[in-house]
Amino acid sequence: AQKITQTQPGMFVQEKEAVTLDCTYDTSDQSYGLFWYKQPSSGEMIFLIYQGSYDEQNATEGRYSLNFQKARKSANLVISASQLGDSAMYFCAMREFYTGGFKTIFGAGTRLFVKA
Amino acid sequence: NAGVTQTPKFRVLKTGQSMTLLCAQDMNHEYMYWYRQDPGMGLRLIHYSVGEGTTAKGEVPDGYNVSRLKKQNFLLGLESAAPSQTSVYFCASSTSLVAASTDTQYFGPGTRLTVL
């Protein structure tokens, strides 16, 4: 079973509008971390935002916010006021901990296209 | 700070050939990782290292070997390349598991490998 599900292979948004990228996760752990990364066409992976499972407030970083709904196991990324430079692939990831280690699992990604 | 660098950026191999991918980081990070990225599958962890001289298997370790002789370098080796290893390979580093719930991974620019 997939641990991280990103149901939107591609999304279009008009410049200056807000867009929500969906992410649902599956874990039985109480302690875990959720991340969003951006991968532009140049290929590098850029960290955007983090949400801890015990954090009560939704994380925000500039134009990025994470809509964390723990009971529904969703961690959607909201980008406000989209810019052309936001066109990229976006990955949701979850870090799980287990005795002796941890692992980070990535979703398949959502490609965002921002239209002028 | 160069951050995380990877050498080479591109490589084409014939089946059965061997090669080594080099990852270097100048952030004094303890933890380093090798991922592969395939279309529609996100990133999958190949091997990782929690410190100089240590390595551990990730999700898809078969066909790869790694070494961490120096803290700043993490090498990924393919002893006998196969077409199934055609992928984009990303190296990443992070500080420590102590603050793993909030720690982010810093990624290199990636190496595009094609095995014919």
Residues of B in contact with A37 (CB under 8 A): 107
Cβ distance of A106 and B106 shorter than 8 Å = no
- Contact A31/B at CB under 8 A: yes
Condensed to tens digits (0 to 9), the pLDDT of residues A47-63 reads: 899 898 888 899 999 99
Residue B63, token pair as written in the block: 């066909």
Cα–Cα distances (Å) from A90 to A80, A106, B29, B104, in that order, read 15, 10, 25, 16
- Contact B110/A at CB under 8 A: yes
Q: How far apart are the first and last CA of chain B?
A: 36
Beta bridge partners of A4: A25
Q: Which residue has the higher pLDDT, B24 or B44?
A: B24
Three-state SS at B84: helix
Condensed to tens digits (0 to 9), the pLDDT of residues B39-82 reads: 777 888 899 888 899 998 888 999 999 999 999 999 999 999 99
Instruction: Report CA dihedral (B8, B89, A75, A14) to the nearest 10 degrees.
Output: 60
Query: Residues A22-27: what's their mean pLDDT?
Result: 95
Residue B45, pLDDT score: 87
Share of chain A above pLDDT 90, in %: 63
- Contact A75/B at CB under 8 A: no
Nearest to A66 by CA among A56, A54, A51, A55: A51
